[in-house]
Chain A
């Protein structure tokens, strides 16, 4: 179990992580989702004691990571696929790490086989593809057979077969009762892998809920409404927590109020409504919705599908 309390990291003027608190439970896969630069990696480095928090604290299995007697057997981490001296062979890299905890060579060979690195284990890491580097990082994380596993963007650079492998591996590890915490900026990946999701944007937690709740977009009910009196209806619906977007002359998208409430307001005021469609948000949309105010770097591609910026959501 990982517990963060008010975890904060400030670099000079910039707050990378702004007082986040969350708990990662054992026995399930917890996804850590956020756009690039949201503070995922910084949070993970603080969990591993590599970066000191500016304030706040984080414990792994009840104790700060630094205080564990056998850290590698307690928590295994893939923080950066390139946390390797690339002039060393994969086998020697793992051997050196294993030696710190007297982990036998047989276990080194085991994780090499497990991660499918058998053929390249005696080659220098320099020649590895990004995917092979990821596999080596995962092998290193599994070395000590740890109770808690942290993987930062593990599927980056993996081939499709590797992506499926990671997905099955983390599910299996969680089913054994381990704590699995993995980050990604890809919501689609999270939808397939995680049981629980913590969403971070600009250093703040914006959602912490079971994946099902986030996919169903709870609290983010949107309804498509067609009416011949859009201005009138907008006035009627205006209120706290309700936002209305005008898409076409007679087409509105209302969020913050369910279809029944909209119909009631229309009926009471004699406004004709000729379409009332609840919109199911995909995880992708839900994620965009959650993070649209939190993304640090906006790309400016104008396509028809882009969501117009509008207040609400937060």
Chain B
């Protein structure tokens, strides 16, 4: 038996490359781009972003036109820093986060619902490697898609805003900040989605948890009487985006740096939990 062990060692050295991280990353990227459902979700996110931007441009134009005659509307605009047009390209961000967050859920939950996980983890038995590779693919694609869609949405909004004599400078520092912060935020939501998909291992359950966290909880927290839930509401992941993108600190919200930390924690904790359980559980 010792001789066969020796033989095997000598064979194994010439056996060929194993699953280094860059190879696993490449594999996850192939898996990502060869699913029609993924491409459809990405395309619909872009369409929604551009569409809402156009609608937002039109709506903003209408409001400012009224404001010229209506002192109340003028006051509302002044309260928001005077520049409404700058947020137009990211009008659709709420929907982008929902779709791309669901995509994050699906990419992991489908591994388990289809049985693909057995192939994935038989090829790369150190499970954290495919998990992290997938996380990179999910976050980078969510970031890039949101950034590109936001820019295109801005380009589409420009002529509409011009009609109402509103100025939008896509190169201004606030425009660039909004584009980057929103894209990072959507990437974070996608990461949370993927962690939920890993924990729940079920597409419907994962998406429902995501919707609960981002859409139901903020409303429920507002409806429940008492100061505790009002305060807690600030720490929900979906409520971190407005402090992060505000020009100035708005009273009764988190500071931008606090919101950044809170959002970071909302990513790190579920992802860490997902990694621990993925390692421990049977596939």
A62 to B3, CA, bound (A): 12
Binds B, one of A65-73, A109-117, A158-166, A200-208: A65-73
CB contact list, B96-116 vs A, under 8 A: 110-111, 114-116
> Which residues of chain B have a CB within 8 Å of any CB of chain A?
4-5, 8, 11-12, 15-19, 23-24, 26-28, 30-31, 34-37, 110-111, 114-119, 121-126, 280, 282-283
Question: Is there a chain B Cβ closer than 8 Å to A97's Cβ?
Answer: yes
Inter-chain contact count A-B, CB under 8 Å? 121
B16 A101 Cβ-Cβ under 8 A:
yes
Q: Are A79 and B122 in contact (CB under 8 A)?
A: yes
Interface of A: prevailing SS? loop
Instruction: Please report the C-alpha to C-alpha distance between residue A103 and residue B36 in the assembled complex, in whole angstroms.
Output: 24
Q: Which of A55-107 contact B (CB under 8 A)?
A: 61-62, 65-66, 68-74, 77, 79-80, 82-89, 92-93, 95-97, 99-103
Which of A45-53, A272-280, A282-290 makes up part of the contact surface? A45-53
Contact B122 A73 (CB under 8 A): no
Contacts of B8 in A (CB 8 A): 61-62, 147
Most A CB within 10 A of own CB, among B5, B18, B111: B18
Asked if A96 contacts B18 (CB within 8 A), the reply is: no
Cβ-closest chain A residue relative to B33: A92
Nearest-Cβ distance from residue A245 to partner chain B, whole angstroms? 43
Q: Is the CB of A50 within 8 A of B118?
A: yes
CB-nearest residue of chain A relative to B17? A102
Closest chain-B Cβ to A261's Cβ sits at a distance in Å of 40
Which chain B residue shows the least CB distance to A67?
Answer: B125
Distance in angstroms between the alpha carbons of A93 and B125 in the assembled complex: 17
- The contact of B5 among A50, A62, A89, A93, by CB within 8 Å, is A62
Residue of B nearest to A52 (CB): B282
A51 to B122: give the CA distance in the assembly, Å. Answer: 11
> Complex: how many Å from CA A74 to CA B110?
27
Q: Which residues of A contact B11 (CB under 8 A)?
A: 147
Known A-B contacts A50-B121, A50-B283, A96-B34; A70 and B27 likewise in contact (beta carbons under 8 Å): no
- In the complex, the answer to whether A99 meets B16 with C-beta atoms within 8 Å is no
A-B contact pairs, 13 of them (CB 8 A): A26-B4, A50-B118, A66-B126, A68-B18, A70-B18, A71-B19, A72-B122, A82-B114, A92-B30, A97-B27, A97-B119, A100-B123, A100-B124
Chain A contacts with B in 288-306, Cβ cutoff 8 A: none
Q: What are the nearest 3 A-B pairs in CB distance? A: A70-B18, A99-B27, A92-B34
- Does chain B have a CB within 8 A of A271? no
Q: In the complex, which range does the number of interface residues on chain A fall in? A: 35 or more
Bound-state CA distance A84–B123 (Å) is 13
Beyond A84-B116, A99-B27, whether A69 also contacts B34 by CB under 8 A is no
- Seen from chain A, the residues whose Cβ lies within 8 Å of a Cβ on chain B are 1, 26, 45, 48-52, 61-62, 65-66, 68-74, 77, 79-80, 82-89, 92-93, 95-97, 99-103, 140, 144, 147
Q: In the assembled complex, which residues on chain A have CB atoms less than 8 Å from the CB atom of B23?
A: 99-102
Q: In the complex, which residues of chain B have a beta carbon less than 8 angstroms from the beta carbon of A1?
A: 4
Nearest-CB distance from B261 to chain A (Å)?
35
Set B18, B28, B115, B283: member contacting A69, Cβ < 8 A:
B18
Chain A minimum-CB-distance residue to B283? A50
What's the least CB distance linking B19 to chain A, in Å? 4
Contact across chains for B282 and A51 when beta carbons are under 8 A apart: yes
User: 15 additional contacts, CB 8 Å, given A48-B122, A74-B12, A83-B116?
Assistant: A26-B4, A45-B282, A49-B122, A50-B283, A52-B282, A61-B12, A70-B19, A73-B16, A83-B115, A84-B116, A85-B35, A86-B114, A88-B31, A96-B30, A100-B19
Which residues of the other chain, B, contact A88 by a CB distance below 8 angstroms? 31, 34-35
Q: How far apart sit A287 and B250, CA to CA, in the bound complex (Å)?
A: 78
On chain A, the residues within 8 Å of B125 by CB distance are 48-49, 65-66, 68, 71
Chain A residues, CB < 8 A from B17: 70, 101-102
Asked if residues A80 and B12 are in contact (CB atoms below 8 Å), the reply is no
Closest CB in chain B relative to A115 CB, distance in Å:
15
Q: Which of B19, B28, B34 is close to A101, meaning CB atoms less than 8 Å apart?
A: B19
Q: Given the complex of chains A and B, what is the CA–CA distance between A85 and B119 in angstroms?
A: 10
**B35, A70: Cβ atoms closer than 8 Å:** no
Contacts of A144 in B (CB 8 A): 16
Q: Which of A51, A68, A72, A99 contacts B283 (CB 8 A)?
A: A51
A83 to B111, CA, bound (A): 9
| Chain A residues with CB under 8 A of B19 | 70-72, 100-101
The smallest C-beta distance from B122 to any residue of chain A, in angstroms, reads 5
Query: Chain A nearest CB: distance from B136 CB in Å?
Result: 15
Evaluate contact between A71 and B124: CB separation under 8 angstroms. yes
